[in-house]
Amino acid sequence: MYAALGDTGRGSEGRPNAGFVVTSVGVVVIDALASPQQGRALVRAIRRVTDQPITWLVLTHHHPDHHFGAVVFRRLGAKVLAHPDRRVLASEAGEDALIADWVRVVGLDAMRGFEFANKPDVPVRSTDTLHLGEHELVIAHPGAAHSAGDLLVWLPKERVLFAGDILIEDGVTMIVDGSSGELLEALADIERLRPSTLVPGHGAIPRQPLELVAQTRSYVMGLRGEMRAAIERGMPMGRALRGLPPADQTRPVSLNSRRRRNAVRVYLEEERIYMGLDSAQ
């Protein structure tokens, strides 16, 4: 089991993490990184370790930074295993707009040869287990925590969990494509697994996996409490968000932007609960 840790020195805006598992019947790759160029770099890293064919690509979700390198693996013959729900806010303006936005992030050179390759050959809506030689990978949908198509990748024998962006070590988990309630449930699922190694979607592998889970929970609970209190006092959203630093205009996933966008999302969730439109989760 290997983790490939992204590091661009820009916190969770930078290259995400990926991983791979070498088995006697082929290599399973977990996430494809953010461009064909990054995907090829990951293939080179795998080739330094093994000559086994790359048979599977498992995607933890459908954000561009985790799957825009997928075409590289598909061209090598890997089958894609992912959640079938590929909707994300960033693609609402259409695929061409998504690609254009992404070129601005990673550059045109990195995107050369790009094609969408995140449509699953094997869709996983709840749970599926891959038995590969001596290895077992349990792939499970924990709900729409970070995004509609989230999957956790769990190696029960090794007690290793690839959490995707449900856990972020160098920033905060974004919930604008998911929900705070389902994120809290996913965190409880992760605690029940008691992983000994946890690979977050971005940032370093935490020394104490459950501490990162607890920190994430306390951030979400704190934000919920603040927004609920604001709504109970009749405070409009603008005023409820006044204590937060402004979002960075050109950096939608910087820490300030993440915190503000999450706060907007949680304010709206709490407002619906207050009005009786949704029940508290």
What residue ranges bind Zn ion (CB under 5 A)? 63, 165
Residue 43 is classified by DSSP as H
- Least spacing, CB of residue 168 vs Zn ion, in Å: 9
Using the minimum distance from each CB to Zn ion, give the nearer residue, 163 or 266: 163
Using the minimum distance from each CB to Zn ion, give the nearer residue, 177 or 226: 177
Structure tokens belonging to residue 210: 């459950």
Q: How far apart are CA 31 and CA 16, in angstroms?
A: 9
- Least spacing, CB of residue 15 vs Zn ion, in Å: 13
Using the minimum distance from each CB to Zn ion, give the nearer residue, 12 or 55: 12
- Least spacing, CB of residue 180 vs Zn ion, in Å: 16
Structure tokens belonging to residue 169: 């070590």
Residue 61: which of 248, 186, 157 has the closest Cα? 186
Using the minimum distance from each CB to Zn ion, give the nearer residue, 102 or 135: 102
Q: Kindly state the helix (H) or strand (E) to which residue 131 belongs, with its residue range.
A: strand 127-132
- Least spacing, CB of residue 125 vs Zn ion, in Å: 19
Q: How far apart are CA 136 and CA 133, in angstroms?
A: 8
What's at 278, amino acid-wise?
D
- The CB-side HSE value for 12 (13 A sphere, CA atoms) comes to 22
Which residues lie closer than 8 Å to 15 by C-beta, 6 or more apart? 6, 7, 8, 33, 34, 38, 65
Using the minimum distance from each CB to Zn ion, give the nearer residue, 31 or 226: 31
- Least spacing, CB of residue 165 vs Zn ion, in Å: 4
- Least spacing, CB of residue 77 vs Zn ion, in Å: 26
- Least spacing, CB of residue 123 vs Zn ion, in Å: 19
Q: Looking up tokens 């209190």, which residue turns up?
A: 229
Using the minimum distance from each CB to Zn ion, give the nearer residue, 55 or 200: 200
Residue 121 is classified by DSSP as S
C-alpha distances in Å from residue 88, one per residue of 1, 6, 95, 167, 207: 29, 22, 11, 18, 31
Sheet of 197-202: strand order equals 127-132, 135-140, 152-155, 160-168, 197-202
Using the minimum distance from each CB to Zn ion, give the nearer residue, 63 or 224: 63
